[in-house]
């Protein structure tokens, strides 16, 4: 047995898109403990709720994270709508689901590209990001932005998608599906990918439950946890929804769950486009949340369940806005997985958790 050594990992590291620091206690080439540290990008966004009114805060909420931007604005808007008892038009709910699922596609494909880059498969990385670009082009045409959309408001959405644009979205998604199936084949069947992922970073179903893990990280360990099943917002209009799960609990399972979720999201968007009703896209919202009124909401972000809580104080400013993001739930699971792994597998394990530090720190 060698002497224990502490190796710092991050906050600047080629595999990390965001700053996360890990103190890896290593004996020989085995990690025996990983101590995470965050706090490098804290911006105090929740505090801003005291100086921005409930309509303006939506633009702050969507800046919590660049990848889940739409999810955060939708989650915040739904929470405030519950707080004020606002019923939004059905068409707006459909539109929110379509944009949210497009966000999931672009988030997962982005992540798959980063994963490919991490295990040294450069051409796979390029192909992933090439497909993601097409999703960003859809956003650009339908919302006017590529990353930050600003299309959600309390009471509905600010932009509609017309039939021509829907046809364009369907056509682009068909093209993505065709190419994406080939990418999936590379991710799920290629020997070099399997060598880096199969059996690496295993976490059992029981441990995943004990550590309250969420999102694809939990679903890869057979935890049936997907907030879309609750039918919040437009998800209640889905004819059938079954979360994608896998029982292997290793890095390969996490890649597989995310890979298949992209295809599931494409199906959801196609169903929503086929069923979307005509009508208004927003209702006028007047007044302020009542003093002491409370509401909560759960949204399935690309990385997992995100919980929102809001409390009013009778003015147009909220008393409190709180978010519990998926990565903060998954950090416990990540340290559990890292204990006992090979030092060379740390980057792959950290990446398969898909940590979003901006969300976690806000």
Partner 1 sequence: MGSFKLGAMTLGGLFKKPETIQYPAQTKPMPAGLKGHVVNDVETCILCSICAKRCPTSAIEVDKKGRTWAINRFRCVQCGSCVRECPKQCLTMDPHYASPATQMEPSVFDVPEHEKVQAEV
Determine if 190 is a binding residue for partner 1 (CB under 8 A).
yes
Instruction: For residue 36, list its beta bridge partners.
Output: 22
**Cα separations in angstroms, 362 against 16, 18, 212, 250, 299:** 18, 13, 21, 29, 17
Q: Which burial class, exposed, middle or buried, applies to 36 when counting CB atoms under 10 A from its CB (0-12, 13-18, 19+)? A: middle
- How far, in Å, CA of 38 to CA of 357, rounded? 8
Q: Per CB under 8 A, which region of 4-12, 94-102, 133-141, 345-353 contacts partner 1?
A: 133-141
Retrieve residue 248's tokens: 């292997």
Q: Which is nearer to partner 1, 183 or 208 (CB)?
A: 183
Q: Which is nearer to partner 1, 185 or 320 (CB)?
A: 185
Pairing state between β 5-9 and 21-27:
antiparallel
Rg of the chain over Cα atoms, rounded to whole angstroms, equals: 21
Contacting residue, 5, 37, 182, 315, with partner 1 by CB under 8 A? 182
- How far, in Å, CA of 80 to CA of 332, rounded? 30
* Locus of tokens 């550590």: 211
Contacting residue, 41, 55, 316, 322, with partner 1 by CB under 8 A? 55
- How far, in Å, CA of 206 to CA of 223, rounded? 9
Q: Which is nearer to partner 1, 55 or 335 (CB)?
A: 55
Contacting residue, 19, 23, 25, 159, with partner 1 by CB under 8 A? 159
| Residue 25 CB, nearest approach to partner 1 (Å) | 35
Determine if 140 is a binding residue for partner 1 (CB under 8 A).
yes
Determine if 313 is a binding residue for partner 1 (CB under 8 A).
no
Determine if 166 is a binding residue for partner 1 (CB under 8 A).
no
Determine if 192 is a binding residue for partner 1 (CB under 8 A).
yes
- How far, in Å, CA of 197 to CA of 250, rounded? 7
Contacting residue, 2, 164, 191, 239, with partner 1 by CB under 8 A? 191
3-state class percentages of the chain: helix first, strand second, coil last, to nearest 5? 50, 15, 35
Determine if 204 is a binding residue for partner 1 (CB under 8 A).
no
Q: Per CB under 8 A, which region of 21-29, 50-58, 250-258, 297-305 contacts partner 1?
A: 50-58
| Residue 194 CB, nearest approach to partner 1 (Å) | 7
- How far, in Å, CA of 285 to CA of 125, rounded? 44
Residue 62: which residues within 8 A CB-CB, separation 6 or more?
69, 70, 72, 73, 76, 148, 149, 150, 152
Q: Which is nearer to partner 1, 29 or 133 (CB)?
A: 133
Determine if 56 is a binding residue for partner 1 (CB under 8 A).
yes
Determine if 95 is a binding residue for partner 1 (CB under 8 A).
no
Q: Per CB under 8 A, which region of 49-57, 222-230, 285-293, 325-333 contacts partner 1?
A: 49-57
Q: Per CB under 8 A, which region of 30-38, 143-151, 253-261, 345-353 contacts partner 1?
A: 143-151
Q: Which residues bind partner 1 (CB under 8 A)?
A: 52, 55-57, 59-60, 123-124, 127, 130, 133, 140-145, 148, 150, 158-159, 179, 182-183, 185-186, 189-192, 194
């Amino acid at each position: 047995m060698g002497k224990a050594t502490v190796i710092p990992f991050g906050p600047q590291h080629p595999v990390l898109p965001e700053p996360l620091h890990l103190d890896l206690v290593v004996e020989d080439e085995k990690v025996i403990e990983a101590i995470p540290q965050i706090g490098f990008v804290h911006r105090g966004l929740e505090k801003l709720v005291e100086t921005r009114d409930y309509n303006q805060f939506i633009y702050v909420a969507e800046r919590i994270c660049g990848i889940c931007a739409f999810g955060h604005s939708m989650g915040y808007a739904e929470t405030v709508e519950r707080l004020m008892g606002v019923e939004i038009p059905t068409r707006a709910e459909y539109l929110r689901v379509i944009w949210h699922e497009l966000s999931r596609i672009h988030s997962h494909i982005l992540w798959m590209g980063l994963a490919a880059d991490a295990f040294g498969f450069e051409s796979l990385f390029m192909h992933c990001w090439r497909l993601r670009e097409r999703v960003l082009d859809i956003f650009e045409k339908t919302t006017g932005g590529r990353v930050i959309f600003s299309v959600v408001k309390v009471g509905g959405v600010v932009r509609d998608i017309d039939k021509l644009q829907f046809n364009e979205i369907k056509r682009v998604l068909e093209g993505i599906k065709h190419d994406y199936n080939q990418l999936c084949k590379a991710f799920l069947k290629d020997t070099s990918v399997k060598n880096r992922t199969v059996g690496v970073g295993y976490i059992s179903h029981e441990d995943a439950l004990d550590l309250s893990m969420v999102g694809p990280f939990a679903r890869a360990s057979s935890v049936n946890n997907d907030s879309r099943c609750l039918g919040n917002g437009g998800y209640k209009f889905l004819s059938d929804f079954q979360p994608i799960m896998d029982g292997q609990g290793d890095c390969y399972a996490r890649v597989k769950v995310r890979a298949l979720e992209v295809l599931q999201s494409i199906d959801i968007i196609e169903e929503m486009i086929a069923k979307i009703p005509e009508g208004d896209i927003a209702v006028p919202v007047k007044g302020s949340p009542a003093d002491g009124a409370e509401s909560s909401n759960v949204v399935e972000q690309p990385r997992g369940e995100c919980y929102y809580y809001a409390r009013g104080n009778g003015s147009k400013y909220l008393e409190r806005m709180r978010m519990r993001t998926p990565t903060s739930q998954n950090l416990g699971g990540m340290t559990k997985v890292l204990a006992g792994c090979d030092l060379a597998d740390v980057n792959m394990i950290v990446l398969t958790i898909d940590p979003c530090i901006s969300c976690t720190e806000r």
